Amino acid sequence: MSMDLDAPVPMTGFQEQPTATILCCNCGAPIDGTTAAGALCTDCVKLTVDITQGIQRESVLHTCKDCERWLQPPSSWVSAAPESRELLALCLRKLRGLNKVRIIDASFIWTEPHSRRIKVKITIQQEAFQGTILQQTFEVEYVVASQQCPDCQKSYTANTWRSSIQVRQKVPHKRTFLYLEQLILKHNAHRDTINIKETKDGLDFFFAQRNHAERMVDFLSSVSPTRVKKSQELISMDVHTSVKQYKITYSVELIPICKDDLVALPLKLARSLGNISPLTLCYRVGTSINLLDPNTLQTADVPTPVYWRSPFKNLADVQELVEFIVMDIEPVGQSNGRFYLAEATVALASDLGVNDQTYFTRTHLGGVLHVGDSVLGYHLTRTNFNDENFEAIENSHQYGSTIPDVVLVKKFYARKKKNKSRNWRLKRMAREEEEGTINRRQQEQDRLEADFELFLRDIEEDQELRSTLQLYKNKNAKPRTERMEGVETGDGDVEQMEEDEDSDDENVPQINMDELLEDFDELNVGDEE
């Protein structure tokens, strides 16, 4: 018996097994029996198995016509633009059964805007059989229905607001509220208000929710010395569930002491503040009252709780300032921050050419005053004060002889009545004016314009005040008038007068353009004019 050594040896352990083929039970097509899903081919699986079964194909979306918000069940209302991601997410959350499948893609299908229909195409995946994952695309149609939201419902009733803040200050001018308005705009603290109303002695802020008003009260207390009182009024009550609805009002009273006011302190309080002189100037109002003795440059702070325990009024305000002319000034050499002590001899501007009466005083303005300058101050010798604290100072053996004839406050710059050529301006809040007669509204408007002009001048002169505000470039500023050549005599006189007025304004402090922000949009915000 012979063997062929070169013949290949069969390897029975590595032979390929034939594929088990079966026929589809539906169409008879041959398929792989080891991977077939329920004896069905792929085409028959797609035709017979519906993975979208149990998912809504129609639904309803509720929108408010007034505020254009959409209802997100059960009771919240959200803002969403047409065909936005927010609206698509709201549509998907409305469908029952969608959480049982995997969402691959979702997009809007264009519909006519007036059709009140929204169509969404959704692609999902789900495991039909073991090892078989199907993907299917279907459309869902939403009907847009109108429903008024609770906030818009309240706008048509008397209960439009749930909480309000009444900010008041008992002073004859609006300088504090003008400054407070700029701080509110800078920090956008009024973003939750539904209305702002201007009253005789202050401002009223109205809110739809209580927590918004509490946030505003905290902001006011953080930027100014205040005293807050709370009151509430019952507007409705459900006797079955004992649910009550209240209107809550916060009364915020500002301290009636402003910048540049002359203050007569109680003697006991003055001794507790480092034995400062009771007759002082208020040079800043923040979370506390900052006082300055112009004779010694000693400063003191009166915290808000200390003031309300022993309140006092100002002796004189900026409306009682008188113009003086500096005849002589000699620095003493003592300084405290931006204040420089000096001895000055001044005369009333109205007495020049009438008499030679002068007054000697010590002032904290030694760093800015020179001979011939104009300065504003309080003339104490020609003024009668009806104040208990001032009478106590006059009768005091320690302080009675130290009351000066004149207290200088700030340097005075000659200006036009209203400067139209400022290269900057301020943003103003949109507010509702208080109702009244025509004459009263005109008087209030004139007084507010005068206070606003004084506030603008304070911003130009006080760099420390200017650093806390936001100033904007004025693109509509009028250029300075120039003298024209070849005009008639009458017109020439007019142009010469305007040029002289502009030349007077050249000595006025100017604000650098680097300190200004870009101009703002005037669509919803008023300006200084």
Between CA 66 and CA 146 the distance in angstroms is: 10
Given a cut of 80, whether residue 20 has pLDDT beyond it is no
Reduced 3-state DSSP string for 330-396: EEEEEEECCEEEEEEEEEEHHHCCCCCCCEEEEECECCCCCCCCEEEEEECCCCCCCCHHHHHHHHC
Least confident of 191-200, 252-261, 342-351: 191-200
Identify the CA nearest to 407 among candidates 274, 278, 508.
278
pLDDT of residue 3: 47
Q: What is the pTM of this model?
A: 0.69
Provide the b/e sequence for 158-181 (b: ≥16 CB within 10 Å).
Answer: eeebbbbbbbbbebebbbbbbbbb
**Percent of the chain beyond pLDDT 90?**
39
Sorted by sequence, the CB contacts under 8 Å of residue 342 that are 6+ apart come out as 329, 330, 331, 332, 362, 363, 365, 366, 369
pLDDT one-digit tens code per residue, 469-510 = 888 888 776 655 443 344 444 444 444 444 444 445 567 778
Going from the C-alpha of 406 to that of each of 275, 359, 384, 402, the distances in angstroms are 22, 7, 13, 12
What are the structure tokens assigned to 253, written together?
């009273």
End-to-end CA distance of the chain: 125
Between CA 315 and CA 279 the distance in angstroms is: 9
The pLDDT of 117-128, averaged and rounded, is 88
pLDDT one-digit tens code per residue, 144-167 = 999 998 878 877 766 678 899 999
The pLDDT of 350-376, averaged and rounded, is 90
Q: Are 415 and 504 in contact (CB under 8 A)?
A: yes
Given a cut of 70, whether residue 361 has pLDDT beyond it is yes
pLDDT of residue 7: 52
Query: Is 124 exposed, middle or buried, given 0-12, 13-18 or 19+ CB atoms closer than 10 A?
Result: buried
404: cis peptide before it, omega within 30°? no
pLDDT of residue 516: 83
Confidence of residue 356 (pLDDT cuts 50, 70, 90): confident
pLDDT of residue 442: 76
Q: Are 96 and 55 in contact (CB under 8 A)?
A: yes
DSSP code, position 211: H
**Percent of the chain beyond pLDDT 70?**
82
Q: Are 287 and 305 in contact (CB under 8 A)?
A: no
Least confident of 92-101, 223-232, 310-319: 92-101
Considering the chain, what is the average pLDDT of its residues? Answer: 82
